[in-house]
Amino acid sequence: MAENLYQELRKLSPKVSGGLVRMREDTFKDASVPAKYKILAVLVAVVVTKYEPCLRAYTRMAYQAGVTQGELVEFLNVVITEGGCLGETWALKAFETYNNLQAGKEVKEDLCYKTEDNQ
């Protein structure tokens, strides 16, 4: 149902809806800063804000971008250092997601709606 609503809104507002998807595609490209480090930076932000769907989606993006477990842990250490016990609790969720990906488990969360016509 939500996908149908998105498609309807996308037809009525093609320049605005889908904008976040287009921004992410442009932002998370290799440039002066490699894409995987930009993904890790945003992962820190979503872990701090405690939004679990984005936490899993960005962890999956990091994994797909070739982020090593060591790199992930170093960025999660930033969360733990600044967030204390609560930061550690949410960092563990990202670490668990990464471990699930390494074990071949599927992580389904996506960022906004992705369709072929939202480019």
- pLDDT tens readout for residues 8-67: 988 899 888 888 888 988 999 999 999 999 999 999 999 999 989 999 999 999 999 999
For residue 55, is it within any domain?
Answer: yes
* Alpha-carbon gap, residue 40 to 35, rounded angstroms: 9
For residue 83, is it within any domain?
Answer: yes
For residue 114, is it within any domain?
Answer: no
For residue 19, is it within any domain?
Answer: no
Could you tell me the two tokens for 55?
């936490």
Domain count, the chain: 1
For residue 7, is it within any domain?
Answer: no
Give the pLDDT of residue 64.
96
Query: Which CATH number does the domain housing residue 82 bear?
Result: 1.20.1290.10
For residue 54, is it within any domain?
Answer: yes
pLDDT digits (tens, 9 = 90+) for 75-108: 999 999 999 999 999 999 999 999 999 999 999 8
pTM: 0.82
Give the pLDDT of residue 113.
53
Which residues span the domain enclosing 49? Answer: 34-104
